[in-house]
Amino acid sequence: MYLKSFSKHLCCKNIQIKQCYIPAANNFDCMKIHTLTTCLIAVCFVLITAANVNIEKKPAGLRDYYQKHFPVGVAVRPGDLRKPEESALILREFNSITAENAMKMGPIHPQENRYFWRDADSIVNFALRNKIKVRGHTLCWHTQTPNWLFVDSAGNNVSKVILLQRLKSHIQTVVSRYKGKIYAWDVVNEAVADGPEFLRKSKWTEIIGEEFIEKAFEYAHEADPEAILFYNDYNTEIAAKRDKIYRLLKGLKDKGIPVHGVGLQAHWSVSSPTREELEKSIEMFSSLGLQIQFTELDVSVYAGRQGGQIIQGQQQQQSGVFTPEMEQQQLEKYKMVFEVFRKHSKNITGVTFWNLSDRYSWLDGRGRKNFPLLFDQAYKPKKAYWEVVKF
Ligand code: XIL
């Protein structure tokens, strides 16, 4: 309506102008001019609306830049989701979340007959409400296990049969609760040793032996046949450890155990891994027909290869300064690893950061403040961020 009368008005004006110069103007001319003007205005309208849509569009985040490559995730604590600034940052940048601790055996299953669902549920519900993915972490690990798990009421180790029953019941209860909501699970975490032995010595190997690994995968698969099941570990770019993980995974695949992917934790630093080490790992694990996810990415500003080792009882004792040298070295490492991720993105189905911003990182617990992420302590993208999204 508005468009029509506006164009009529213009048209009449045109006619008047036209009549001044072309006295022969008739009704037919007027109709043509009317149609033309209406079209012109319609085009303007469409252009203006499109421009507005563009202005109103939410700013692009990592999830948008990497849309064609893989989902980009972040490890969260339930409290992060309740802070407006943090939850807004999560939703702007990421389309997958992992519980930093809430789904581990200890926190989620503190007593044999009691599960604690509140924190894990709040994370899953946040993801469902906001239509983002959830990775489950983790069903079987040697760390953060509940006190009751390996012992009987007298405090002695339980038998192999009992521990397998407990493992089965734990895995199936947790996986079933989130069936259809958690698309991928880290089923077994860090079972391979850092030292010369094959498997890490733990209560799992002591009581059950190597078999605990395949059983864990079978239990998880029974509970949710659709879930993508991962073996997850750190220092996967160090040749000796990589070879052992490869051997473990090849053995599982050859036996027909339902393992679908390998999680490379990616707790890296400004000094490692090299491009060659990283590419070699991707190529080796992909050759087993496994999908690859980088599940716990951070780049420590202190050189070295501490990987994912938990250093017990350490608090942040020293504050630290994020120097321009650290900033430059970290930016280069992030740039390199994301170049490699893009190059191999047909085999990579996810990249998840371990924590949201430098305001808090689990690495702070290693005695000194670290700055391992892409957002600074004020939640602003660091220079490294702009390198990661520049392609
Ligand atoms: C870490 C958490 O970030 C800490 O809050 C917790 O105190 C210890 O565990 N590898 C893993 C993660 O698989 O579960 C670990 O998470 C970091 C190393």
In this predicted model, what pLDDT tens digit does every residue of 229-258 receive, in sequence order?
Answer: 999 999 999 999 999 999 999 999 999 999
Confidence of residue 309 (pLDDT cuts 50, 70, 90): confident
Which of 97, 104, 295, 310 is the pocket-test mutation for ligand 1 (most atoms within 8 Å of CB)? 310
pTM: 0.86
Residue type, 386: W
Q: Is the pLDDT of residue 120 over 70?
A: yes
- Nearest atom of ligand 1 to the alpha carbon of 295: 13
Query: Which of the pair, 97 or 365, is modelled with greater confidence?
Result: 97
> In angstroms, what is the span from residue 248 Cα to ligand 1's centroid?
23
What pLDDT is attached to residue 43?
56
What pLDDT is attached to residue 304?
86
The region of weakest confidence among 56-60, 244-248, 271-275, 381-385 is: 56-60
State both tokens at 88: 């807004």
Cα separation of 209 and 203, whole Å? Answer: 9
State both tokens at 47: 């252009």
Which residue, 377, 362, 355, is CA-closest to 80? 355
Active site residue 190: yes
| Active-site residue, selected from the candidate residues 93, 237, 296, 387 | 296
| Residue 369 CA: distances (Å) to CA of 62, 76, 111, 301, 322 | 25, 19, 34, 10, 9
Element (H, E) at 231: strand 228-233
Confidence of residue 46 (pLDDT cuts 50, 70, 90): low
- Nearest atom of ligand 1 to the alpha carbon of 104: 14
Q: How many CB atoms lie within 10 A of CB 203?
A: 16
What pLDDT is attached to residue 206?
98
Residue position matching structure tokens 């992060």: 80
Mutual angle of helices 211-223 and 239-254, in 10-degree steps: 60
Which of 100, 188, 200, 234 is the pocket-test mutation for ligand 1 (most atoms within 8 Å of CB)? 100
Cα separation of 210 and 248, whole Å? Answer: 10
> In angstroms, what is the span from residue 145 Cα to ligand 1's centroid?
12
SS3 110: coil
What pLDDT is attached to residue 70?
98
- Nearest atom of ligand 1 to the alpha carbon of 137: 14
Q: Is the pLDDT of residue 48 over 80?
A: no
Are 281 and 247 spatial neighbours (Cβ–Cβ below 8 Å)? Answer: no
Q: φ, ψ for residue 136 (rounded to 5)?
A: -90, 135
| Active-site residue, selected from the candidate residues 86, 100, 190, 387 | 190
What pLDDT is attached to residue 19?
38
Task: Output DSSP code: residue 151.
Answer: B
pLDDT tens-digit series, residues 140-159: 999 999 999 999 999 999 99
Query: Which of the pair, 289 or 314, is modelled with greater confidence?
Result: 289
Are 254 and 283 spatial neighbours (Cβ–Cβ below 8 Å)? Answer: no
- Which residues contact ligand 1 via a Cβ below 6 A? 100-101, 189, 265, 296, 308, 310, 362
Confidence of residue 49 (pLDDT cuts 50, 70, 90): low
